Amino acid sequence: MTILVTGSAGFIGSCFVRQHLRCSDEPVVSLDALTYAGHLSTLSEVMDTPAHTFVHASIGDVNAVTAIFREHAPRAVVNFAAESHVDRSILGPEAFIQTNVVGTYRLLECARQYWSALPAEQAAKFRFLHVSTDEVYGTLGPGDAPFAETHRYEPNSPYSASKAASDHLVRAWHHTYGLPVLTTNCSNNYGPYHFPEKLIPLCIMNALAGKALPVYGDGQQIRDWLFVEDHTRAIARVLDAGQVGETYNIGGWNEKANLEVVQTLCALLDELRPKAGGGSYADQIQFVTDRPGHDRRYAIDARKIERELGWRPNETFETGLRKTVQWYLDHQDWVRTVTSRTP
C-alpha cells in the first residue's frame, strides 16, 4: 500500500507527509515541482525515511506521473499541488491556469488511466482526494451564513477561479468516468513552514526586521483561520472514511478580521521577543491600498465533516498562533534560506 502526495514540498502538503509518516509505516511517494514556494527543507524530517520517495516533477508532467503509477501502484492520490497566492495570480494569472487547471486535468487523466486498469477489488478502494479552498465560493456579507458544501461557486480572483475550475474537473471525472474522488475546501491555513508571503509569516518576519506590517484597506476583511496540522488530520480522515463523490468543508471555527490577527500577533511578539528599544510591534502596522477584487469575508461551516466523520480542530486560534509565532522565532534561518531565491 502506497499513497501519492502531490505538492509535497509546500506548506500543507509537507505537513500531511510528515504527519502521515509519524503515524503510519505506509509508504509515501511525494511529488513537487519545487517552484519558489516548494522547498525540500520542509521534508527534511522524512527525506531519509525508507518509506518516503521524493520525485521532482510537476503534476502536468504526464510521463513522470505515469511512471509513478506504474512503479509504485498507489492506492490513493492526495493532490495539494497548486499555485495559491492571490496577489501573484493578479499579477500573472497564466501560471495559475497552467498548474491549477491544466495540471489538475493531466493528473486526473493519469489517475483515470491507472485506475481503469486495476483489478476490480483494488479499483473499488482507490481514491483521488483533491484539496481546494473556500475562496471558490466568493465572498460573504457580515450577516451571511458560513459557506456550506452546497454554496454556489462565485470565484472573484484568478486564483480562486483556477481552483474552482479544478474542482469542477474533479467532479466531472467522477460523474463522467466514475473515478472515485473526494474534494475538500478549507479556510485560511497558518502554522510552521508557511512561505513568508502570506499574512501571518510575513508580519512576523517584518516585525522582527523593523519593517512595516502591511494591512490591506481598513483591515476588516474576515477570514476563518485553520491550524495546518488540524487541516491535515481532517484530510487524512476524509481519505480514510469520506464518501466517494462528496465534498467536505474544513474550517477552524475562528473568524478573525485581518487587523485583529496582526494585532494579536504583535502582542505575542511583545511577550515572546520584546523590542530592544521598548514599545510595541503594533507601532509598525501600516495600512496599504487594498488589492483589486478583495473578498470581504470567508467563513466555513464545518458541521458536515464533524457530523459524518467525527473531525473537529484541536487548536484554538490563540493556541495555534502561539505555536506558529514561536516556531518562526526558532527558525529564522529557514525563512532566510527559502526567501533568498524568491523571484
Residues that are catalytic: 134-135, 159
Hey, what long-range contacts does 270-279 have (CB within 8 A, 24 or more apart)?
272/325, 272/326, 272/329, 273/208, 273/329
Q: Categorise residue 61: left if φ over 0, alpha if ψ from -120 to 50, beta otherwise.
A: beta
What is the C-alpha separation between 269 and 191, in angstroms, rounded? Answer: 15
Residues 6+ apart with CB under 8 A from 117: none
Q: In what order do the strands lie in the sheet with 76-79?
A: 52-56, 28-32, 3-6, 76-79, 127-133, 181-186, 247-250
Helices marked H in 178-283: 199-208, 228-241, 258-272
Question: Nearest-CA neighbor of 292 among 198, 197, 157, 164?
Answer: 157
154 membership: H or E segment, kind and range: none
Task: Give the Cβ contact number of residue 182 at 10 Å.
Answer: 24
Are 311 and 237 contacting, i.e. CB atoms less than 8 angstroms apart?
yes
Give the pairing of strands 3-6 and 76-79. parallel
C-alpha cell at 84: 495559491
Could you list the beta-strand ranges (E) of the chain.
3-6, 28-32, 52-56, 76-79, 127-133, 181-186, 188-190, 213-216, 222-227, 247-250, 255-257, 285-288
Residues 6+ apart with CB under 8 A from 330: none
Question: Nearest-CA neighbor of 241 among 300, 150, 302, 306?
Answer: 306
